[in-house]
Amino acid sequence: ATLGERARGWRWAAGALAALSFFIQLLPLLVSFDTYIQYSEPKERYFRPAASPILAQPQIWLGRVREYWWRAAGGPPGTALLVKDFSYSEGDRSKGELFPRWSYADATWQLNPAGLGPLEGTLLVADHRPWPLPRANFELRLNGQPLADVERSNTDGDPIRWTLHFTLLPGQLARGMRLELVSDTWNPTRDTQDNPRNEDLGLLIERVSLEQDGKPLTFGEALPIPPPRMNRRALWLWTQDVPNHHLFDL
C-alpha cells in the first residue's frame, strides 16, 4: 500500500510538472512584456508613485480580462464595443484613447443602450487613399441591413472628409445590436511606394459620438487578437506590440 501511495504521489507530481511546463511554454504567446513600458513615460514611472508598474500592471491585466469577458458575454448597458474589423488606435495610448483609427472592410460596434429614448450617433470619417485610386464607397448598416436616413455632410470643405449623423428610434434599439461601417479597402503597401503598412484599410475614423437621453455611451475594445503572420518581424510584433491585447499583457 505504501509503494502504491508513493507511486500515485509521483504521478501527481509528474503531471503537475508537465502542466506547469506547458504553461511556461505558452507564456510567450500570452504575455506582452513591453506593454506598460510602451504605454508610459520614464519620468512618470520613476517619479510618480501612481505610475509605478506595481500599480499599473494589475490595472492593465484587469482591463484585458474585461475585454475577454465582453467578447464572451457582451458589454454592460450604456456601452459601445469595438468588436470587429478595426485597426489599432492612433490616439494617445497612455490615456486610453480609442480614436482616431482605421477601419477595415466591415468595422463593427456592439451597441448596448441603457435608456429609453432615441440614440443619436455622429461619425467623422476620412478617405486618405491616394490618387489615382477612386474615392471610397461606404455605408452604415444596422444588424447587416443598410441604415436609412443617414445624413452625410462635408461641412469643412475637405473633399476627403465626411460627417455621418443618424438617429436610432427606441423601436430599433436592443442590447447587442450591431452598427457597421462597411467600405471597400486599399492597401498602402500594395497601392503606394515605400509604405510598410500592409493592411487592407477602409476609412480613417477620426471621431465617434453616441448619445442616449443626453448621456454618451462608453466606448470599449473587445477585439479578437488577429492571427499571427509567419515571418520573424510580424511574429515579434504580434507578441510584443501594444495594439495586440493579449490576456496577460504586463
pLDDT tens digit sequence for 87-96: 989 888 767 7
Cα 184 to Cα 136: distance, rounded to the nearest angstrom: 6
Quick one: pLDDT band at residue 249, thresholds 50, 70, 90? low
Cis peptide bond prior to 132, omega within 30° of 0: yes
Let me know: does 185 contact 134? Beta carbons within 8 Å.
no
Residue 80 has pLDDT above 60, yes or no: yes
Cα 141 to Cα 103: distance, rounded to the nearest angstrom: 14
- What pLDDT is recorded for position 224? 81
CATH 1.10.150 applies to domain 77-234? no
Of the two residues 109 and 28, the one the predictor is more confident about is: 109
- What pLDDT is recorded for position 128? 92
Cα 111 to Cα 212: distance, rounded to the nearest angstrom: 11
Within a 13 Å sphere around the CA of 56, how many CA atoms are in the beta-carbon half? 21
DSSP state of 116: S
Q: For cell 456601452, what's the residue?
A: 79
* Domain locations in the chain as residue ranges: 77-234
DSSP assignment of 143-202 equals TTEEPSS-EEE-TT--TTEEEEEEEE-GGG--TTEEEEEEE--B-HHHHSSS------B-
Each residue's pLDDT tens digit, 35-71: 777 777 777 888 888 888 778 878 888 888 888 888 8
Cα 203 to Cα 126: distance, rounded to the nearest angstrom: 6
Q: What is the mean pLDDT of residues 8-13?
A: 83
CB atoms under 10 Å from CB of 91, counted, come to 14
- What pLDDT is recorded for position 108? 97
Each residue's pLDDT tens digit, 153-195: 986 777 899 999 999 999 999 999 999 999 999 999 898 888 8
Name which of 64, 128, 74, 75 is nearest 100 in CA terms.
Answer: 128
Q: For cell 506582452, what's the residue?
A: 32
